[in-house]
Amino acid sequence: EVQLVESGGGLVKPGGSLRLSCAASGFTFSSYSMNWVRQAPGKGLEWVSSISISSSYIYYADSVKGRFTISRDNAKISLYLQMNSLRADDTAVYYCARSVYGDYVNDALDIWGQGTMVTVSS
Amino acid sequence: EIVLTQSPGTLSLSPGERATLSCRASQSVSSSYLAWYQQKPGQAPRLLIHGASVRATGIPDRFSGSGSGTDFTLTISRLEPEDFAVYYCHQYGSSPQTFGQGTKLEIK
């Protein structure tokens, strides 16, 4: 079964850091670009970041640029999101998602994880 | 940044009826790189349509997408009870990628 499972969410104080992980299974992880998308409580979807197969191309939303870092380890079949200088408006469910066509960084997203909740509050 | 505006905000229909959801972009969407997703409460989004009109794997043929440039439409030909959910459009042709604010499809 093709699956993505996020972990690492939790409660953190403003200014703090968290590292999210996304474990992939059921497909050749190293052949697909990957993405993070978030959804604040009761709100819509917001694209956060994308990374190409070999990590050569990386993109961020302006709202997280300079604070968040996306990375991947193809040997460990995992995607990561390092989040620093967290703010209250970063509070959201964070989803990892797979690009439809493996080597396209900007692509539709066909497989999604169940999400991990990040709450930034004092 | 391309802003996607979805209309209506809420659509109230009955099972068996036809649903037409609109997504309008503030600029032309490159190469029709426009997708539609369905999201039910407590669940992750599900890809329905990509490339403006290509159904994703396993999506019933009652779902269809059309449009180009700045105007796109998702049509559900005959609503089933499981189709009542929130629908989002997503453009991925220009960076940053952006999503519409969503259309809630509710049972009348």
Angle (CA) B63-B26-B28 rounded to 5° is: 70
Does residue A115 belong to the interface with chain B, where contact is any CB pair within 8 Å? yes
Chain B residues touching residue A32 (CB < 8 angstroms): none
Task: Kindly give, in sequence order, each residue whose CB lies less than 8 Å from that of residue A115, ignoring residues fewer than 6 positions away.
Answer: A6, A39, A93, A94, A95, B44
Assign A37 a pLDDT band (cuts: 50, 70, 90): very high
pLDDT reported for residue A102 = 81
**Closest CA of chain A from B70, distance in Å:** 17
Question: Which residue of chain A comes nearest to B30, CA vs CA?
Answer: A106
| pLDDT value for B32 | 87
| Chain segment B55-105, per-residue pLDDT in tens | 999 999 999 999 999 999 999 999 999 999 999 999 999 989 999 999 999
Is A57 in the B-facing interface, judged by CB distances under 8 Å?
A: no
Structure confidence by residue, pLDDT tens digits, B21-49: 999 999 999 888 999 999 999 999 999 99
DSSP β-bridge partners for residue B90: B35, B99
Task: Reply yes or no on whether the pLDDT at A105 is more than 90.
Answer: no
Average pLDDT of every residue of chain A:
97
**Angle at Cα A97 formed by Cα B94 and Cα A82, nearest 5°?**
90
Q: What is the per-residue pLDDT across A41-91, written as a single tens digit (0 to 9) for each?
A: 999 999 999 999 999 999 999 999 999 999 999 999 999 999 999 999 999
- B51 neighbourhood in chain A, CB within 8 Å: 108
